[in-house]
Structure formats: C-alpha cells, structure tokens
Amino acid sequence: MSLTVNPVLCRAGVMDNYAYIITDDSTGICAVVDASEAAPIIDFCERYDLTPSYILTTHHHFDHIGGNEELKAKYGLQIVGPQVEKKLIPSMDIGLQEGDIFKLGKSEAEVIAAPGHTIGHILYYFREDKILFTGDVLFNLCVGGIFEGTPEEMWHSLQKIKALPDDVMFYPGHEYTMHSLAGLNADSEDMEGAMKEYYDIAVSRLENNQPVAPISLGLEKKCNPYLRISNLKDF
C-alpha cells in the first residue's frame, strides 16, 4: 500500500497555495487535496493522464476550494470536507469529522479535527504512509492565523500534530517557508543545528523549483517556534 503525492502550485506569486494530487498506487484511484484553483490542476491531470475521483478539502476558505465546482463538473468527482463547514463549501458531497476514516482505494486517511484557523478545519493523516496534510493549520516554520477559533483551540490542534511520530512527512497548504525562515532566530545550539538542516533542504528544493514540502514532523518540531512552545500560557 502506498500513496504518491504530487504538489501543484496554485495562485502562484499571489497566495502560493499548494494543491496535492494524491494517487493510491495499488488501484490508481486519485484525489486532489485542496483544489485551490482549477486550471493548474487540470493541466497537471491532463499531462499525466489522471482523473481525480475526489477532492479532499481541509477548510472552507476560497483559496482552498476555488477549483471545486469546475473540477466536479469536469470529472464528476465527489467533494469531501469537514462536516462542520458543509454549509460553507458549495456542492460538498461527503462530510467528515474527527476519527472518521476516508478510503482512497486501499489507502486510508484518518480525519483529525484541528480547529483554530477555521472552526471546522480537518487534517488528513495517512498513517500507514506516514503522510499528513495540514492545510492552513501548520506551515513550514509557522502556523495559520486564528480566524474563527480561539488560541486555546489552535494550541490543542497543534498538540495533536505534535503527538504524531517524527517520521511523518507533512504537506502544508501554502509555500511560506522562506518568509518564515527570515524572521526566525535559533534559541539554542540544538535548534541552530536543526535550523541549518532545514535551511539547506529549503534552499536546495526551491532552487530546483520544488516545494520545500515535505519536511518531517521531527525536524519541524525542532524548528517551528509554535511547536516548540511547551505550554498554553506562553502560546
């Protein structure tokens, strides 16, 4: 059982969203995680002869669902997303909540509720494949803004991510790495070493026109200031 992940940059130079085209290798069944806008996703699917069966939406913001309806019309796919935000996600077919399992062919995503950025934000965690889609909850070296929830909710959402194994690779909803790196200072020798590793990975991938993602949660936990905070009071 394994899952192939292909990032597609959307809203390039404006919001730098990533849609991810994911394929269950054993069946060829494929889905789009966060269909930010239709055109670049359709281009990618045509180039690689892919027909997505689902869109997996993390939350209702326009830059994560902008392509949903056009892709649904073109491919006849089903739109999957947080049940809590069903009213805010046009044409949504399947609502998911904490603890649900979504099957993509033989691959399985566990649904993790992660409110804070929005009330209903969910993460898709492919436990067997050690792959996590974090939408606008966790970015490289940063976190999403708290638009609808409370800092407490965001904190608890981040603790759920922190509890996942270090070898899980995460895929965020935007490319914000260099911006976040620029404002970051190491507070210990340990962090300084990890930051250097992070920086080298980021620069070499970006130079090759690749996303910085995926980064391991282990490295992220060492470098991301919001994951390093150890109690809610300091958050």
Q: Which residue is nearest to Zn ion (CB)?
A: 61
Comparing CA positions, the residue from 183, 96, 98 lying closest to residue 139 is 183
In whole angstroms, how close is the CB of 59 to Fe ion at the nearest point?
8
Q: Which is nearer to Zn ion, 136 or 220 (CB)?
A: 136
Among 7, 25, 63, 156, binds Fe ion (CB under 5 A): 63
Phi, psi of 174 (to 5 degrees): -145, 160
Tell me: does residue 136 bind Fe ion (CB under 5 A): yes
| Residues in region 106-165 near Zn ion by CB under 5 A | 136
Query: How many Å separate Cα 162 from the centre of its chain?
Result: 15
Q: Which is nearer to Fe ion, 63 or 69 (CB)?
A: 63
In whole angstroms, how close is the CB of 76 to Fe ion at the nearest point?
26
CB 153 within 8 A of CB 145: no
Pairing mode, strands 131-135 and 169-172: parallel
Tell me: does residue 61 bind Zn ion (CB under 5 A): yes
Q: What three-state secondary structure class fits 56?
A: strand
Per-residue binding string, Zn ion, 87-106, x by CB under 5 A, is --------------------
Tell me: does residue 60 bind Zn ion (CB under 5 A): no
Number of neighbours of residue 63 by Cβ within 10 angstroms:
17
Tell me how long the chain is. Answer: 235
Q: Which is nearer to Zn ion, 34 or 129 (CB)?
A: 34
Q: Stretches 60-68, 75-83, 101-109, 174-182: which one binds Zn ion (CB under 5 A)?
A: 60-68
Contacts with Fe ion by CB under 5 A: the residue count is 2
Comparing CA positions, the residue from 56, 59, 87 lying closest to residue 71 is 56
Which element (helix H / strand E) includes 82?
Answer: strand 78-82
- What residues make contact with Fe ion under the rule CB under 5 A? 63, 136
Binding site for Zn ion (CB under 5 A): 61, 136
